[in-house]
Amino acid sequence: MRTTASRTVSRTVQLLIVLGLLSAGCGADKAGSSESEPAPNTRPRALEVAKAWDGSPAADTWREGYYPMGDPVQLPEDAFHNAADKEAYTTQNFVLRGDLPKTPEKDAKVRWRDGDSLTLPLVGARAAYEKLGGDNGSGPRLTVTGAKLGEMTLATSRGPATVPAWLFTIEGYDTPLKRVALGSSKQPKPPIGPAGSVSGALWDLDKLVEVSADGRSVTVLAHHGACDDGPAVDVLETDGSVVLSGYWVGTRDGVCTLQLLSKKVKVALDRPLGDRVLLDAFTGAPVHGAE
């Protein structure tokens, strides 16, 4: 087990309660100081999760499905021209100045490099545009002038795949913004339930951000609060799974606000992730990215 310096409503409520207790206990005479606390023993729960998943029907279902492990959006090659355009994308603020095509077909295929494929319902151009953010309000905007159906390469739980994508024409840019035109397969029911009380300081992870090109590291968004020194993630690797255990480290004295924060944490692996299931120790479920 290594330490490499969480998303349910109930977990958020629990976190706010804990942060409230920490805030109430902050001492004014030591404002701004930080106390080191021992890391929780995450191994027992991680072993339970790995044992439940390895060789299970749920793991077989995961390996047979389509589950994105990368960003569903690929930006234009010359993005971004200026700070306003970057802000517009970050705040998901777009405006449509043209027509979007109607979905030409109901289904489309995901194709993997080993020749396997899977047919899934196609997401229409309008629905894909809304996932980008749509007409989201005032402030800087990116202008979409049209779209056509194409393809893009995306990291998945079964390795890189060629997937259908909507290619949105962005005013002022020479190449399109691509957005995956498929939803993921139905999630398998985890063979183990979530962890119990927060007494062990174990927290659920927010989401997967990236799997490195060589599969030797994963980057996740991990939850923490305003009264600590940030999140940490332990990793347990088996032949069939990689279990990530998120928690926060340190306790800060002084005035503390009640916030649920997230921060990117890069986790190194002993060997490439491959088709092993990436799991959250707290939820007992796979960790995956945005759709």
241 and 142 assigned to the same domain: no
User: How confident is the model over 241-248, as a mean pLDDT?
Assistant: 93
Looking at the structure, tell me whether residues 82 and 111 fall in a common domain: yes
Average pLDDT over residues 266-270: 96
Distance CA 8, CA 12 (A): 6
Residue 135, in any domain of the structure: yes
Answer yes or no: is 118 within a domain.
yes
Query: Is the pLDDT confidence value at 194 over 60?
Result: yes
What distance lies between CA 48 and its chain's CA centroid?
Answer: 23
Task: Tell me how far apart the alpha carbons of residues 106 and 162 are, in angstroms, rounded to a whole number.
Answer: 18
CA 77 – CA 71 distance, rounded (Å): 15
pLDDT at res. 259: 72
Buried b / exposed e over 177-214, threshold 16 CB at 10 Å, is bbbbbbbbbeebebbbebbeebebbbbbbbebbbbeee
Q: What is the pLDDT of residue 30?
A: 36
Q: Tell whether 287 is covered by a domain.
A: no
Closest by CA position to 286, among listed 222, 202, 205, 217: 205
| Same structural domain, 170 and 30 | no
Looking at the structure, tell me whether residues 129 and 160 fall in a common domain. Answer: yes
Neighbours of 220 (CB within 10 A): 25
**Is 120 a domain residue?**
yes
Distances (CA, A) of 187 to 64, 67, 99, 166, 250: 11, 9, 34, 24, 35
Torsion on CA atoms 73, 79, 85, 86, rounded to nearest 10: 70
Is residue 192 located within the same domain as residue 264? yes
One-letter amino acid of 277: V
Of the residues 152, 180, 208, which one is the last residue of a structural domain?
180
> What is the C-alpha separation between 183 and 259, in angstroms, rounded?
31
Domain-embedded: residue 28: yes
pLDDT tens digits for range 87-145:
999 999 999 998 999 877 788 999 999 899 999 999 999 999 999 987 767 889 999 99
Q: Quick: pLDDT tens for 6-56.
A: 333 345 445 444 444 444 444 333 333 345 566 788 999 999 999 999 999
Tens-digit pLDDT profile for residues 224-240: 777 777 889 999 999 99
Q: Of 120, 111, 116, 211, which is closest to residue 163 (Cα–Cα)?
A: 111
| Residues 177-192, mean pLDDT to the nearest whole number | 93
Residue 50 lies in a domain: yes
Residues 135 and 153 in one domain: yes
Say if 291 falls within a structural domain.
no
Q: Identify whether residues 202 and 269 lie together within a single domain.
A: yes
Check whether 200 has a pLDDT greater than 70.
no
Same domain for 194 and 228, yes or no, is yes
pTM for the whole structure: 0.79
Cα four-point dihedral sign 115, 50, 284, 224: negative
Q: State the total domains in the chain.
A: 2
The reply to whether 240 and 262 lie within a common domain is: yes
Among 31-40, 82-91, 141-150, 209-218, which is the least confidently predicted range?
A: 31-40
Q: Which pair of tokens denotes residue 252?
A: 């800060």
Report if residue 285 sits inside a domain.
Answer: no
User: Which of 150, 180, 210 is a domain's end point?
Assistant: 180
Q: Which domain-ending residue is among 180, 204, 222?
A: 180
Q: Answer with the residue of higher pLDDT: 255 or 150.
A: 150
Q: Going by C-beta distance under 8 Å and a sequence separation of 6 or more, which residues neighbour residue 29?
A: none
pLDDT for the residue numbered 2: 45
Three-state DSSP at 60 gives helix
pLDDT at 255: 66
For residues 60 and 203, state if they share a domain: yes
Cα 220 from Cα 6, distance rounded (Å):
10
Please tell me the predicted confidence (pLDDT) of residue 27.
37
| Residues paired with 234 in a beta bridge | 3, 245
More confident residue, 277 or 10: 277
Distance CA 127, CA 141 (A): 19
Query: Taking all residues of the chain, what is their mean pLDDT, rounded to a whole number?
Result: 84
As a residue count, the chain comes to 291
CA separation for the pair 208, 265 (Å, rounded):
10
pLDDT tens, position by position, 52-75: 999 999 999 999 999 998 889 999
My answer on whether 208 and 260 are in the same domain is: yes
Range of the domain at 150: 73-180
pLDDT at 213: 87
Residues 215 and 244 in one domain: yes
